[in-house]
Amino acid sequence: MSAVALAALVVERQPCVVLTGAGVSTESGIPDFRSPTGIWADVDPFEVASIHAFKRDPARVWAFYRERIDVLRNAEPNAAHVALAELERRGHVRAVVTQNIDTLHSRAGSEDVVEVHGSIRSAQCLACLWSEPADAVLAQLAESAVPACPHCGGPLKPGVVLFGELLPAGAMERAVQLARGARLMLVVGSSLEVWPVGGLPLEARSFAIVNRGPTALDARAVLRIDAGAGETLAAVVEALG
């Protein structure tokens, strides 16, 4: 029933922009960060995923990301990614703004994806800003602990936003612009705890939330569904016929 109500909202309140977080990828076998079984239950993010750690000990940060990139590249899009790509194809979704770095939205067929926390597609040189594709980075990692920039020799940094780094300006600007133009922001699989991205729904004229467990903005949502992303979004597509 709630999926039917969500389908009606998506049709009525166009344009609809989607905002996704870790909960959209857990069904692909990718652990989230903050739950009791999440990644940060075992390791301290400031030791392995902060810009401070990277500047002090890039090999340690790369040891963490090398394993993570491996997990993410071997994961497959799930029913939630597939449903969102289908909704975009049918003209019901304008774009997907995602906190995820796993590229699964693009791999499922979504065309307009704004990756506000970067992605594992590439690594960047902090000195000359060169961007090196993931395949080349992984090839280097097979032989050395820290991949080097082919242009200036400086250490490459994973292409994801580390703790203590600013979000990529262009991506965040576009995300805010999309949110402001949306009559509905559909939040999927995010507890909206990480700012500034967690504040994006407040920029839209209204927002609905699909998430297992409470979120920071539940009280202000027009519709709140406490359920898995895959089953819910597949039901929305089905309700639209």
Using CB under 5 A, list all residues that contact Zn ion: 125, 127-128, 130, 149, 151-152, 154
> Is 151 an annotated catalytic residue?
no
Q: Which of 81, 92, 117, 151 is catalytic?
A: 117
Please report, for residues 24, 76, 128, the alpha-carbon distance to residue 105 in angstroms, rounded to integers and kept in the order given: 10, 10, 29
Nearer to Zn ion, 141 or 175 (CB): 141
Q: Parallel, antiparallel, or unpaired: how do β-strands 113-115 and 95-98 relate?
A: parallel
Shortest Å, Cβ 137 to Zn ion: 13
Shortest Å, Cβ 114 to Zn ion: 26
Nearer to Zn ion, 40 or 130 (CB): 130
What size, in residues, is the chain? 241
d(CA 62, CA 153): 16
Nearer to Zn ion, 129 or 202 (CB): 129
Shortest Å, Cβ 153 to Zn ion: 7
Nearer to Zn ion, 83 or 160 (CB): 160
Please report, for residues 33, 59, 152, 229, the alpha-carbon distance to residue 80 in angstroms, rounded to integers and kept in the order given: 19, 35, 41, 6
Shortest Å, Cβ 119 to Zn ion: 19
**Which residues have a catalytic role annotated?**
117
